[in-house]
Amino acid sequence: MSPPPAPPPAPPLAPEWQDWIAGNVLRGCIDADMLSAMREQGFEAHYAQTAIAVVRSMTERVQQADPAALTPYTADPPRLAEANRLQAGDREVSVLFSVRDPNVALIDGLLSAQECEQLIALSTGKLRRSEVVANDGTLGISGVRSSEGTHFAHAENEIVDRLERRISALFDKPVAHGEPLQILHYGCGGEYLPHHDYFDPGQPGSRVHLANGGQRVATVVVYLNDVESGGETRFPQLELAVRPRRGAAVCFEYANAAGGLDSRLLHAGAPVIRGDKWIATKWLRAGAWGAAKP
């Protein structure tokens, strides 16, 4: 009997996972903890162990040769003040929880129940299958994201204008630094697999996006309805899951003033188990979005 064919080669480890392992090595994390996190995200044990060993070896060699070349990411002071209640433009909001380094906060009451219902009503009828940014910079439909969505231009209507001004006040950033407001709808089973919101500088396709307002620095996800079951926003590396709460928003920052990017803010939209899920997403840029490209 002839020998069986060799198994197919394993796919290369995605750059964001390479960065994640390297960052955790620099922070002093042990292999067992990284392996556990990767296994939870569906990686085969041997593949994950090999990836961790290879990236650790490369990271430690670079660090020994040039200690200044690799430094752990350090978050800037959070833009959201450390207070229980904040003034977000025309509306006072509550801080349900906050985490420092990485900067994550859950803000309650960013939208009223009526405003949430109006945003959903304005979006219904103009939804289409959501796209993702590929490594070459193009947009396309992908299995990592099963949702439908639409967007609103800056100040396209009164509700969008109010929400943009509230987010601007919370982050102390001009409204012009925000991308157009995205509305997403997930039906039963809908999910968004783990991903980063920033544009990977190592990917050639990121250049066209970075030229338009610079890097994404923060994300605001506003929950427009209470989900019956599932639909959490999960941060696997932080062991944090945020359950949807109508009118509340989870805010997180992943770029510091030095241009460093925090791979710990890998996040996912967990599958909707019962009911459906509506969110409004605002991505903030380092500069004015829509500015003329160089």
CATH code for the domain of 206: 2.60.120.620
Say what the pLDDT of residue 273 is. 97
Q: Does 34 fall in a domain? A: yes
- pTM for the model: 0.75
CA atoms within 13 A on the CB side of 265: 29
Q: Are both 107 and 20 inside the same structural domain?
A: no
**Does 276 lie in the same domain as 133?**
yes
Alpha carbons 105 and 92: distance in angstroms, whole number: 15
Same domain, 178 and 247: yes
- Looking at the fold, whether 37 and 123 belong to one and the same domain comes out as no
Tokens of 41: 């995200």
Same domain as 103, residue 61: no
145 and 187 inside one domain: yes
Per the domain annotation, does 169 fall within a domain? Answer: yes
Structural domain includes residue 183: yes
pLDDT at position 184: 94
Q: Do residues 44 and 168 both lie within one domain?
A: no
Q: Is residue 5 part of a domain?
A: no
Same domain, 170 and 29: no
Residue with tokens 């509306």: 91
Q: Is residue 291 part of a domain?
A: no
pLDDT at 5: 55
Note whether 45 and 130 are same-domain residues.
Answer: no
Which residues, 6 or more positions from 198, have their beta carbon under 8 angstroms from its beta carbon? 215, 216, 217, 254, 255, 261
DSSP lists the bridge partners of residue 234 as 241, 268
Is 198 part of any domain? yes
In a domain, 6, yes or no: no
pLDDT lower than 50: segments of the chain = 133-137, 139-144, 292-294
Helix count (H) and strand count (E) of the chain?
6, 17
Judgement on whether residues 95 and 58 belong to the same structural domain of the protein: no
- The answer on 170 and 35 residing in a single domain is no
User: How many folded domains does the chain comprise?
Assistant: 2
Does residue 31 sit in the same domain as residue 90? no
Strands (E), 70-215: 85-88, 91-99, 103-108, 128-129, 132-133, 139-140, 148-152, 181-186, 192-195
Question: Is residue 246 included in any domain, yes or no?
Answer: yes
| pLDDT reported for residue 54 | 92
**276: containing domain:** 85-285
